[in-house]
Structure 1
Amino acid sequence: MSKDQTAEQGQETVTAGFLVIGDEILSGRTKDKNIGYLAEYLTELGIDLAEVRVVPDVEERIVEAVNDLRARYTYVFTSGGIGPTHDDITADAIAKAFGVDIDFDPRAVAILKNFYPEGQLTEARLKMTRIPEGADLIENAVSKAPGFRIGNVHVMAGIPSIMQAMLDAIAPTLRTGRKMLSRTVNADLPESRIAGALKDIQDAHPGVMIGSYPRSIDGRFNTQVVVRSRDEELLTRATGAVADAVAAAVKSE
């Protein structure tokens, strides 16, 4: 990527939706570890994770969610449902969402043949080589069974270590936007004491997002204020205004 491309991309907002697929997530049998990881990973790249959905292993629900999300956001990422078991139906659902055929992909078959010893590429494992027509493969450095990318949808495994490896593989191919910057102001005050001032500061600074998070430390309520913006100068001004408002509130106690 050239410097001009990077500079040009740095001015746009790139968005993403994340679709978590699996009955085991909704039942609580499996605790999701991918949402937080993906959110932080994309933030570092300058991509805004705008929405997360969790759906069961039901083809119609997956198709509906994929088609909705891919129309809304620059990228869609999915996790779960591309394994060897009978309820791993994500690949078929993605093919249906795009209206394409799905079959054993010679590229994926070759990868697994090279990975598994003779006689160990079972029918169940071979199922992981079924890829929608027209899709590109996503490298899996952990267990080799690839994910795939079709259109703006990236289909990855649900196992955290594998999903993370797949993210590393596709990161260089993603367009990146202007990174979100953040600063934190700690207020030794209950949130209610500064809520009005924070609203006024928010209203006076378009392009800034201000979040306040009440906490209790040693039985005393205080507030952490996080100021976020893509514009560093605007961020500095708004953060200064928040710090001044907190100081004034402390002084008036």
Structure 2
Amino acid sequence: MKQVTAAVLLIGDEVLSGRTQDKNLQQIAQFLAPLGINISECRVVPDVEEEIVDAVNTLRAKADYVFTTGGIGPTHDDITADSIARAFGVGIDVRADALAIIEHWYEKTGTPLTESRKRMARIPDTASLIENPVTGAPGFQTGNVFTLAGVPKIARGMLEDIAHRLEGGAVTRSRSVKGEGLREGDIAVQLGELQSEYPDVSIGSYPYFLELQDGKLRRGTQLVVRATDETRLDAVIDRIIALVKGLGHEPELA
């Protein structure tokens, strides 16, 4: 089964400034993983059309799917829809299908539909709508690019209308081994050799430090193995367990 990849493009000055803490990358990755789609790249760009267009065109040529978040609201700096239209070389205007959804939503909630809110119905030509069960205003799909809202709760709701549009690949499995008291440097050489022997398996090494109540420090290393072939995954895990034991530590499967 082939490897299927996705890229995430986070759009917004507020993300770059640190005013907004991004949660979308994590929830998109978690949503895609069971479908056999792995995130291969993530970029963050400001609310600048040239930057958005360049990033979209670069990422959609590299990855099977691209997910953008942010910049499709009602304000002047919400320029993602225009940028997507420019990236694909198509027109953009208020679309009747999108406007009907927004009109129905605002009528249902008793909220005035202002001209600025109608901006959320501006959809690139040829794009298909993505349902928004949280606030009504739809996202949209243009080619292999899915354009979602920036608010995490809204973006997550939109993902439910995307899964059926995706062609998944081999699902990546993950297992890990903890070595209490194990330092990264103690096992670095052996892990490098193991990685060379199993190039199709991802082996990650992550030290951890826990401060105890008496002020002492509890440390160790967690070794995370990821692969699409479960037999290869188990073989590497068994080798790592043996390595940890050989270095005098008790391995703990996590």
Matched ranges for 1:151-190 at <5 A: 151-188=143-180, 189-190=182-183
Unaligned runs of 5+ in 2: 250-254
1:77 equivalent to 2:77? Answer no
Residue 12 (structure 1) aligned with residue 2 (structure 2):
yes
Identity of aligned residues (%): 51
In 1, distance between residues paired with 2:7 and 2:201? 22
Query: Structure 1: how far apart are the matches of 2:2 and 2:133?
Result: 31
CA distance in 2, matches of 1:185, 1:157: 37
What SS does the aligned partner of 2:160 have? helix
Whole-angstrom distance in 2 between the partners of 1:178 and 1:109: 39
Range with greater deviation from structure 2 (190-199 or 72-81): 190-199
1:137 maps to which residue? 129
Q: Which amino acid aligns with 1:199?
A: G
**AA matched with 1:12:** K
Deviation string for 1:181-211 (max 9, x for gaps)? 1111111211111111111111111211110
The CA deviation string for residues 107-146 of structure 1, in whole angstroms up to 9 with x for no partner, is: 0011111111278111011000000000000000011100
Stretches of structure 1 that go unaligned for 5 or more consecutive residues are 1-10
Distance 1:14 1:119 in 2: 42
What secondary structure sits across from 1:12 in the alignment?
Answer: coil
What are the within-5 Å matches in structure 2 for residues 84-163 of structure 1? Answer: 84-117=74-107, 120-163=112-155
Which one-letter code corresponds to 2:189 in the other structure? G
> 1:61 & 1:195 partners in 2: Cα distance?
39
Deviation at 1:221, TM superposition (A): 2.3
The 2-side partners of 1:171 and 1:13 are apart by 17
Q: Give the 3-state SS of the residue equivalent to 2:147 in structure 1.
A: strand
Structure 2 Cα separation of the partners of residues 16 and 190 of structure 1:
34
Matching residue of 1:59: 49
Q: Which residue of 2 aligns with 1:238?
A: 236
Between the aligned partners of 1:205 and 1:56, the Cα distance in structure 2 is 39
Q: What is the DSSP-based 3-state SS (H/G/I as helix, E as strand, rest coil) of the residue aligned with 2:248?
A: helix
Partner of 2:252: none
Q: For 1:8-30, what per-residue CA distance to the aligned partner results, in whole angstroms no more than 9, with x for missing partners?
A: xxx11111110000011111111
Which of the residues 222, 225, 238 maps onto 2:223? 225
| Matching residue's letter, 1:192 | G
Structure 1 stretches of 4+ with a deviation exceeding 4 A read none
Distance (whole Å) between structure 2 residues aligned to residue 92 and residue 136 of structure 1? 15
Rounded to whole Å, the distance in 1 between the matches of 2:71 and 2:111 is 25
Residue 220 of structure 1: how far off its partner (Å): 2.9
Corresponding residue to 2:207 among 204, 214, 228? 214
Aligned pair count? Answer: 241
TM-score normalised by structure 2 residue count: 0.92
Aligned Cα root-mean-square deviation (Å): 1.2
Structure 2 counterpart of 1:29, from 9, 14, 19: 19
